[in-house]
Amino acid sequence: MKKILTLVFVSVLGGIITLSAYKFLIEKETTVVAETASEQPFFVPTNYKTTNANLIDAEHPSFVNAAEKTVDAVVHVKNTALVSAPLSLQDLFFGRQQSKRAQVGTGSGVIISPDGYIITNNHVIAGSESISITLNDNKIYDAELIGTDEKTDIALLKVEADNDLPFITFGDSDAAQIGEWVLAVGNPFNLTSTVTAGIISAKARNLSGRNSQSFIQTDAAVNPGNSGGALVNANGELVGINTAITSQTGSYIGYSFAVPSNIARKVVEDIIEYGNVQNGILGVSLLNSNSKEAIEKGLNEIKGVYVAEVTEKSGAEKAGIKIGDIIKRIDNIEISKFSDLSGYLKTKRPDDVVNVEIIRDGKVKILPVALSKTDILTVEFMNMQLKNLSEERKRENNISYGVEVVKNDNDWLSENLGVSSKYIITDINNVKINNIEDIAILKQKFGANPEQYIKKIGLINKEGEKEQFLIR
């Protein structure tokens, strides 16, 4: 037994000695280097018949049905406008007049009825001499501009087709939830019938700083050319009209914005029925939660919006809303900022009744409020009281914009320009004045002494004559 163990030990020891000698004396040192291959890419053909359904998590939604429902109802919009060509030195030398040239812009549109009504953005067709739309099957139609609303950036077109057109049904944008899947359908960079997916990132987003907009924010990719296209939910229902992106490059970098479908639907219904948009107002002014006054009062931490002023003779005053009330909800819509309030009210008309939930002295109250017309509102500017033009005054003066002077306590404007009540201000410094919201913006821009910044003012006098004054 001892001889066997001795033999095994000697064999193992001999193997160890032999291996060590090989490693140290015979084998050369080797270095492993990671190299970048310069070979041509290797392409693997795919079999289009193969299904990958078993690779998809059942919890992830399929957008196939939603895309099929919508892609044929989104059209390519071409806007042809005549613009002034720049004068050359030869034109100046020979005294030639400035010529006009055609400029083409493109965007998207959404068919909303089988008889050919189409929603797009106002900025897509602004200044157009002619508009044409191209369907997904490449059929081309001339489009008629039915009406526009610059404030919401919505325009309504109409085409006459031989057959019923595919269309998208409206969804309820108020019911859309943050985190919900959506598709953006449009024609970015003239690439027709493009579908991208994302989620709703935020609601009631205000971009302008004017507290008047209420966009749906999404991370679905939207690029130039998508404007006027559809934002649809997983059921293929229209929840928004893609309108804008936030970008430093002009192309998509992660955020896009859509006009909520409830607002767009109300705008086009008003255009069809009334010829213009009917806006109903609550009749309150709210304290900006980021303002110095709000922070000092601790109101920037409240859940709701603080009523800082109530307009006389408004529905809010008649219903009993008071300064200091905190508005929490309107018709079950939670209100946490002004854009929540303004966005919901844009879906309503004058005389519509909304239920306003307020907190007063720690108690909850629900007050029914009949919305008022905008012509009850006035704003103070340069010692004048101004209000929006009524539809009657617009018709009388054949104008669609401007504000009316209700009262003038500005002696200089009265004595030098003859401005008095019933005058209409149409533009200031060559900027068109659409309504008193534009005046409010000028007040913020010019500060306490706007007179020193105003160089030119356009007016319509009591006789309906247009006047332009240079102020030095």
Give the residue numbers annotated as catalytic, written as ranges: 123, 153, 227
* C-alpha 28: how far from chain center: 70
In 3D space, the residue among 283, 198, 228, 285 whose CA is nearest the CA of residue 106 turns out to be: 228
Strands 130-134 and 140-149, how do they pair? Answer: antiparallel
Core vs surface per residue 344-381: b (16+ CB within 10 A) or e: bbbbbbbeeebebbbbeeeeeeebebbbbbbbbbbbeb
Alpha-carbon radius of gyration of the chain: 33
Distances (CA, A) of 126 to 155, 301, 319, 351: 9, 42, 40, 32
3-state per-residue secondary structure call for 355-386 = EEEEEECCEEEEEEEECEEHHHCEEEECCEEE
Neighbour tally for 431: CB within 10 Å: 12
d(CA 253, CA 246): 7
The residues that bridge with 305 in the sheet, in sequence order, are: 327
- DSSP symbol at 411: H
Counting Cα atoms < 13 Å in the Cβ hemisphere of 316 gives: 26
Backbone phi, psi, residue 175, to 5°: -85, -15
Q: Which residue has the tokens 């970048």?
A: 36
Is 215 in contact with 205 (CB distance < 8 Å)?
A: yes
Neighbour tally for 268: CB within 10 Å: 23
Is 432 in contact with 126 (CB distance < 8 Å)?
A: no
d(CA 110, CA 261): 11
* Contacts (Cβ under 8 Å, ≥6 apart) of 304: 326, 327, 328, 335, 336, 359
